Amino acid sequence: MAHPAHSTVPLPDRHLALLTFLRLAALECRASSRLDLTQACKVLDPEIDAGDLATILARALPQVLFHRPQILAPGALGRSFDEDWLLALADAIARGDRLSERFLLRRRCHPHRASHLSLLLRELEDRLAA
């Protein structure tokens, strides 16, 4: 079942870059095999580029969230609830707001996978800021 776009509020440049990378990665890996999330986090190479990291994150989301995430196609107008949630989580991580980060993770993630998502999102934000 298709879900309507949730939000059309303009984004700051850093959020737009993150969303663009995630949408492109999600589009590329829709039919990919499962990803061993724990192993992927253990071998994060400091030299890995933002595109590859976004692909790892996009492949990990279905394992981390309680449901299959809705990531819209690149260029889509508006954002899904899942995309807005990821941007809010990225913002909390960037601000160092651990309470908001924990709250957002607990509402939508499997408890044993939440830290993996934080790590991947933090790493992606760092790569995009560099």
Summarised one tens digit per residue, pLDDT across range 51-91 is 888 888 888 888 889 988 999 999 888 899 999 999 999 99
Closest to 83 in 3D by CA, of 93, 72, 95, 97: 72
pLDDT tens digits, 11-28: 777 888 889 889 998 888
3-class secondary structure for the chain? CCCCCCECCCCCHHHHHHHHHHHHHHHHCCCCCCCCHHHHHHCCCCCCCHHHHHHHHHHHHHHHECCCCCCCCCCCCCECHHHHHHHHHHHHHHHCCHHHHHHHHHHHECCCCHHHHHHHHHHHHHHHHC
Q: Residue 5 pLDDT > 70, yes or no?
A: no
List, in order, residues 6 or more apart from 78 with CB less than 8 Å away.
Answer: 4, 5, 6, 7, 8, 72
Phi, psi of 69 (to 5 degrees): -70, 150
Q: In the block, which residue shows the tokens 């933090």?
A: 122
Mean pLDDT value of segment 31-57: 74
pLDDT tens digits, 107-116: 999 998 898 8
pTM score, whole prediction = 0.82
6 touches 81 (CB < 8 A) = yes
Confidence of residue 2 (pLDDT cuts 50, 70, 90): very low
Tell me which of 32 and 106 has the higher pLDDT.
106
Confidence of residue 123 (pLDDT cuts 50, 70, 90): confident
Bridge partners, residue 7, by sequence: 79
The Cα diameter of the chain in Å comes to 39
Confidence of residue 6 (pLDDT cuts 50, 70, 90): low
